[in-house]
Every structure is written in C-alpha cells, then in structure tokens.
Structure 1
Amino acid sequence: MKAVGSTPGGFVWIGLHAPSADQLQAVARAFGLHPLAVEDALEAHQRPKLERYDDTLFLVLRTAAYLEHDQSAPTTDIVGTGEIMAFVGRDFIVVVRHDPSTHLGGVRRGLEADPERLAQGPVAVLYSVADPVVDEYLDVVAALEADADQVENDASSPEAGHDIGRIYQLKRELVGLRRTVAPLAAPLRDLAERRVPGVDKGLAAYFRNVVDHLAQAAERVTVLTELVDNALTMALAQTGVQQNHDMRRISAATALIAVPIAVADVYGMNFDHMPELRRLLGYPTMLVATAVLVTVVYLLFRCKNWL
C-alpha cells in the first residue's frame, strides 16, 4: 500500500493460488477486505456472483476446462471446474485462484505490454481475467458439441443401449456447465451497464463483449442439453424396441419347445391303448408328427420376423 501511495495512478495487483487462512487474512488486513468475502474466497465452492462491500467489489468466477477422457468409462469427468475470486478496490486488485489448470501469467504479461489499458486501473485487470474465462466456456462447449454429435449418431444404432451411460454422463456435465455459465450473466451485465463504481465507458464496452460471448455459450449449452435429451429419448426407445424383439425371440423359442413337450405329455400318460404299443409305426409316426409341428411353428415365426 505504501508503494501505491508513492505512485500516482498506480495500484497493487496480488495473485494467490489456493492460499492458506493465514496468507489470506494477512492480505485482508492490508486492504481492509470484508470478512464475509474473505470467508467465501477461502472456502471456495461459491456460486458466480458480484457483491459490493463498501468501496470493494467481490467477483466470483467459475472456470471450466474440457478434459480428455476415455469414452468407454462413463463415470469419468468431461469438464473440469475451478474458481477465481477477485477483490477490486480503487487502488488494488486481489485475485484468488482455486484451479491448478488456470494460469494468469499470460494475462499479466498481456496487460504489461498494453500500458494504455493497464492505466485504466484494477477494473481493467478484472476484465482481462474474466475475458479468457468466458472464452474458455466457448471452447468447452465446442468440444462437448462434438461429443454430442457422436452420441446422437450412436443413439439411432441398434446398439444404442450400450451408449446410455455416455449420454447420461454428457447430460450430467452439461448440467454442471450450465450452473457455471448461467449465474455469471447478471454480474457481468452489472459491469457492462456500469451499475457498479470504477467502470468507465471504455471498459463497459469490453465487458459488453464478454457478456455477448457468455450469452453465446449459454445458448449453445441450452441447445446441447436439448440435443442430448433427444438422444437419450431415442436411445431408450431403441432399447425398448430391441427388448421387444428379444422377447419375441424368447416367446418363439418357448413355443418351439412347447410343441414336443405337449406331444410327450399326451403320449407319456399311462393309457392301456397307446399308439406305440398297439401299432408298429405309432412311435415313429409320433416323432415325425412332432417334427412337422415344430417345423410349421418355426416357419410361422420366421414369416413374422420373430426369429
């Protein structure tokens, strides 16, 4: 803070990755951060939001990244998520990350190479942090679209029942992504429409661009969810058709077995005058008749495509 006071127009930018309670409390004391916001930043697992504590803004972003996964294992994760919390004051910004896959070194280097934007203060840093996070949403959605197309194509195949696990996996990830994307719309809109202090007209235009990208991601997630729902319905219908086909085969096989059993039951009873006892050709005739009956039943089921 002393450095800020000695540098007109300057500000402090501090980045922390999964800080301990002592580390975050030390920063909170130095910048007068609100205890409730500090508690949220320390515990993580927060919903995207924008809150104002006196002259300090507290923004929560959820990050998303597409993970390479084994399609044969529907229990694995497709989308990895993390969190970024930003405390923004008049002359400071504190960024807390709870995501090992997200690095802000490129953001810092980009701003240091653009002094004009850096001169716009901590809110310019906030935009530079939020913009790549939202752009990553679009990359994740594009990757999920490829998965959804594959699932939709597979859903119409006779083996669709084997892909239901993958469809549920994709649906679960889309629900999680929607929870990441949708709640961020209101906070970014507040920044774009200058409903919070510290956002000038120039930065508002940049935030409007981020809002537009976020809306695109949200719309594509909605369309993808509907597509996956349709694929699930189709797969379940295909599974039902296949099960009905299997039941017809089982019924036909049962009927084929029932014919010789019925004949055997009749001729196996203890009557005094059995055809095979009184007639020389009685037994062979019974076997031939049984074979003929089974053949007729078999051909009947073949004509109906039950076998």
Structure 2
Amino acid sequence: MIVHCASYHDGRRIEAPDDLHGALAAARAAGPGGFVWIGLFEPTAEELDQVGREFALHPLAVEDAVSAHQRPKVEAYQGSLFVTLKTLGYHPAAHAVTGGEVMVFLGEDFVMTVRHGADTPLSGLRAQLEKDPEVLRYGPSAVLHSVCDTVVDDHVEVVTALQADLDELEADIFAPGRVHRDTAGRIYGYKRQVMAVRRATGPLLEPMLRLARGGEPFVRAETTPYLRDVTDHLARVNDQVEGMDRLLSDILGANLAQVSVQQNNDMRKISAWAALAAVPTMIAGIYGMNFDDMPELHQPWGYPAALALMALVCVVLHRVFKRHDWL
C-alpha cells in the first residue's frame, strides 16, 4: 500500500494531489528539478505492478520488490536504478536481532521506497529531509543517500547494543567463582545474532562501494561524497562485527578450556578421596580383620595398632593432598 506520496521541486515540497498520478503530474509540470517521492509498505503484487507500469519499472525489479528476501544489491535497468538494503532491529530483553528490507527505485523524476518488515526505520526520514532543502534539492539522489545513511546508522546502533551485551556476557562467564549452566548455549545464541547482523552488513558493502564510486545512472555526482561517508561507516560496522565473531569464538574456546580444567580438578579430588578410602581397605584386606588380637595373631595390641595405622596414613595423605590443592 502507498503510505505517502508527495511532489518536490528545488528541494521544497509543492502543493499537489496526494494520489500517484496527480503528484507525478505536478512534479513534471514544475520543470527541471521536480520529482515525486512515493513510500510503500509491504505492497501486494497488484499494487506494485500498477506503480511499476506508471514508472516503466523492469519486471524483474518489481518481482524482487514484492517477494523481498533479497541480498543487498544495486541493479541498473533502463529507466531506473534498483537498490536493496537490509534493515536491522535489536531487542535486548530477548537478545534477538530482527530484520527487514528496504528497496529503492530511482529514476530521473521519481524515487520510490518499498519497505518490508517492522524494522524499517524510515518513518521520520521524509520530515527530516523536508527541513533541509539544500540537501533535498539534489532530488532522488538525496533521498537514496538519506535512506542508506539511516539504514547504516541503525546498523551501528544494533552493533553497539550487541557489543554491550557481549561485554556483559564475557564478564559474567569469567567472573571468579561463578558456575554457569549451558554457557556454550548462550555463546552460540550470541553467535547466531552476530551471524544475522553479518548477513545484513557484509553483502551491503559492495553495493555501497559501487554507489560511492559514482557513475551509476540517476545518482548525481554531488551526492557521492555523502555516499562515501556512509560506506566508511558501514566498513567500520563490518570490522566491529568481525571482531565480535572472533571474540565469541575465543570466549567459547576459553570456556571449554575452563570446563576442562574444572573437570580435571574434580577428578583430582575424586582420586584423592578414593586414595584415602583405599588405604584402610588395603590394610583390612591384608590382615583380614577376622583373627584374634592381630596382627600376626594373638597380640593384644595388634587390633588397636592396625586401626591407628589406618588413621595415621589417612591423615598423612589428607595433608599431602591438601598441600597440593587436590582437596
């Protein structure tokens, strides 16, 4: 469905009907520099086909915009430029990264944004641009830059929030004396969130580099410095995401080593207690404990001596194990 439709000329909004045909006619009647900006949210195939016929959009681009689930890309068609972006949202309470998509159709006198998913942060973008006519005067290219900038800024916020949660996870896992269950599961959960971010930010770098280099149809040269700035922000995001992924792998490896050390300590303690129990068993096995006045038969001091020997050996072993931190 069409969420918003407006006409602009020389960076300022002009009075025009709010329907597609009227807005487009007003923009073209305003002369050079006039364009129409249409915003759609999860349109049906019929709705997008209708708009596509109005602007002579390529059927493949229209099909991609309807089905969504596209990789970030830039495709040049006759009469239009098609740009796909992945959007992100982060819910700290659930530790979950969610996503959406924004498609941008760019032409000589029109720009159309198609949004899919709840995490498509473009609601205030139109009002923000209308307050800055010096930027909006660059026409559809200015809208494209602002959409890319907004999406990448949201990527930065998501990665920053995820990094903060990851720092808390690291401190919690390696806190002295803390024992956690299912730590590996928690780490893998964060790795899945980082992977979801990488699927959005990683493939976007190549399309942004294409736009920043210039030469793409319908992208004015005046906007390429701004697009290069967005590309630089995106590159930093990708570096941060790569760092988080490596950190999670290191945390997982360190945690597994920590578990192994703990298991070794437990085995040492079990072995020490087993040794303490084995000594009386051994002595009792040798002498049988079924004769009168042992050891060596008929010696009145033999029975208490055997018990004293057992106690003495157990005390000595306990001290030795304690000194070596086995107990």
CA distance in 1, matches of 2:80, 2:209: 18
Q: State the 1:160 CA deviation.
A: 6.7
Counterpart contact for 1:185–1:211, Cα < 8 Å: yes
Alignment of 1:118-137 (within 5 A): 118-137=136-155
Whether 1:14 aligns to 2:32 is no
Superposition TM-score, scaled by structure 2 size: 0.82
2:125 aligned residue (104, 107, 115):
107
Counterpart contact for 1:156–1:234, Cα < 8 Å: no
Change (3 A) 1:264 1:25: farther
Q: State the 1:30 CA deviation.
A: 2.7
Residue range with higher mean Cα deviation, 228-237 or 92-101: 228-237
CA distance in 1, matches of 2:46, 2:300: 103
Alignment of 1:1-307 (within 5 A): 1=21, 3=25, 4-8=27-31, 9-69=33-93, 76-158=94-176, 159=178, 162=181, 163-268=183-288, 275=295, 278-307=298-327
The letter for the 2-side match of 1:37 is A
CA distance in 2, matches of 1:134, 1:185: 10
CA distance in 1, matches of 2:221, 2:237: 25
CA distance in 2, matches of 1:156, 1:144: 18
Change (3 A) 1:80 1:298: same
Counterpart contact for 1:155–1:232, Cα < 8 Å: no
| SS of match in other structure, 2:230 | helix
The letter for the 1-side match of 2:63 is E
Q: State the 1:109 CA deviation.
A: 0.7
The letter for the 2-side match of 1:32 is A
Q: CA-to-partner distance for each residue in 1:233-275, whole Å, 9 max, x for gaps?
A: 3222222221211111111122122222323333448789964
CA distance in 2, matches of 1:280, 1:25: 109
Q: CA-to-partner distance for each residue in 1:28-47, whole Å, 9 max, x for gaps?
A: 23323222222222222221
Matched length: 301
The letter for the 1-side match of 2:80 is T
Counterpart contact for 1:156–1:238, Cα < 8 Å: no
CA distance in 2, matches of 1:305, 1:297: 12
| SS of match in other structure, 1:294 | helix
The letter for the 1-side match of 2:29 is S
Residue range with higher mean Cα deviation, 48-57 or 7-16: 7-16
Q: State the 1:84 CA deviation.
A: 0.9
| SS of match in other structure, 1:306 | coil
CA distance in 2, matches of 1:196, 1:306: 70
RMSD in angstroms over aligned alpha carbons? 2.6
CA distance in 1, matches of 2:194, 2:99: 12
CA distance in 1, matches of 2:66, 2:45: 7
| SS of match in other structure, 1:11 | strand
Superposition TM-score, scaled by structure 1 size: 0.87
Structure 2, unaligned runs of 5 or more: 1-20
| SS of match in other structure, 2:217 | coil
CA distance in 2, matches of 1:271, 1:52: 101
Q: Identify which of structures 1 and 2 has the higher relative contact order when contacts are C-alpha pairs closer than 8 Å and 6+ apart.
A: 1
Counterpart contact for 2:198–2:241, Cα < 8 Å: yes
CA distance in 2, matches of 1:212, 1:153: 31
Counterpart contact for 2:80–2:217, Cα < 8 Å: no
Change (3 A) 1:60 1:282: same
Q: State the 1:96 CA deviation.
A: 1.4
Counterpart contact for 1:14–1:93, Cα < 8 Å: yes
The letter for the 2-side match of 1:80 is T
Change (3 A) 1:242 1:210: same
Q: State the 1:106 CA deviation.
A: 1.0
